[in-house]
Structure 1
Amino acid sequence: MSETANRRLVLTLLLLLAAVLLWSVIDANRYYIWFAEAMPALAIVAILIITYKRFKFSSLFYVLLFVSFVWMLIGAHYTYERVPLFNWIRDEFGQNRNHFDRIGHYFQGIIPALAVKELAWRLNLIPHRNVRAIVALSFTLAVSGFYEIVEFLAYLAFGGEADDFLGHQGDEWDAQWDMIWAFCGGLTSILLLDKLHDKQIRKLNR
Structure 2
Amino acid sequence: MAKENKKGVLYIIPTPIGNLKDITLRALDVLASVDLIACEDTRTAGMLLKLLGLPKKDFISYYDSVEESKSDLVVDKLLAGLNVGLISESGTPLISDPGYKLVQKCIDLGIEIVSLPGATAFVPALVISGLPVHNFKFFGFPPKKKGYKKFLEKVANEESTSVVYVSCHSLLKFLEDFITFAGETRKICLVRELTKMNEEVLRGSLGEVFRELSQNRSKIRGEIVLIIEGKVG
Q: Quick check: TM above 0.5?
A: no
TM-score under structure 2 length normalisation: 0.23
Q: More relative contact order in 1 or in 2 (CA 8 Å, sep 6+)?
A: 1
TM-score under structure 1 length normalisation: 0.25
Q: Is the strand fraction higher in 1 or 2?
A: 2
Larger Rg: 2
